[in-house]
């Protein structure tokens, strides 16, 4: 007889969630002489299903999180491109000099000139479009993978 005490049997409550520590204890306490009463095939399949479901659940949570990160990154990128095109369209901007009372320079308005060449604008808009399309495709393929159905017969 072994001096180790066996962990509680999973058959006492088959619907109770099984944590990793309990699973590890069952595996390490099993000896070559183990019989059906220690670990049965049904219990093993239940454990396997729970571990699989836990992995799928974690995968879905991570997918949602990173899809949201990519969405915000692409949104900010798009707003920045729109702002640059808009500033280029304005050409020159006049702003009130709020430091004039402190500096007493006599300059009430400051002008900013913003001009990008046509080649830079084309490159900016093209890369923005390609990035947005690529991120959309990557996230969509990752969130909705093309996995074959288990019930459908294999295509030959």
How many Å apart are CA 53 and CA 82, to the nearest integer? 43
Per the DSSP assignment, residues forming a β-bridge with 112 are 93
Q: Could you tell me the two tokens for 128?
A: 């923005």
pLDDT at 58 over 60: yes
Instruction: Return the pLDDT at 148.
Output: 61
* Lowest-confidence pick of 9-23, 51-65, 93-107, 131-145: 9-23
Backbone angles phi, psi at 20, to 5 degrees: -65, -35
Instruction: Return the pLDDT at 34.
Output: 55
Instruction: Return the pLDDT at 1.
Output: 44
pTM for this predicted structure: 0.51
Per the DSSP assignment, residues forming a β-bridge with 109 are 96
Residues near 81 by beta carbon (within 8 Å), at least 6 away in sequence: 124, 125, 128
Question: What's the whole-number mean pLDDT along residues 87-108?
Answer: 83
For residue range 119-129, what is the model confidence (pLDDT) as tens digits?
999 998 898 88
How many Å apart are CA 85 and CA 142, to the nearest integer? 32
For residue range 9-36, what is the model confidence (pLDDT) as tens digits?
545 555 556 667 776 666 666 655 555 5
């Amino acid at each position: 007889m072994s001096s180790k005490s066996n962990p509680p049997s999973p058959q006492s409550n088959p619907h109770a969630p099984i944590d990793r520590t309990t699973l590890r204890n069952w595996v390490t306490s099993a000896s070559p002489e183990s019989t059906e009463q220690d670990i049965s095939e049904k219990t093993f399949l239940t454990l396997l299903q729970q571990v699989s479901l836990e992995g799928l659940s974690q995968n879905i949570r991570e997918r949602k999180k990173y899809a949201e990160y990519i969405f915000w990154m692409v949104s900010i990128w798009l707003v920045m491109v729109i702002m640059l095109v808009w500033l280029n369209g304005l050409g020159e901007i006049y702003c009130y000099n709020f430091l004039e009372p402190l500096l007493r320079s006599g300059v009430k308005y400051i002008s900013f000139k913003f001009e990008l060449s046509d080649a830079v604008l084309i490159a900016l808009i093209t890369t923005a479009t390609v990035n947005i399309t690529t991120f959309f495709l990557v996230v969509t393929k990752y969130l909705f993978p093309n996995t074959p159905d288990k019930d459908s017969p294999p295509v030959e």
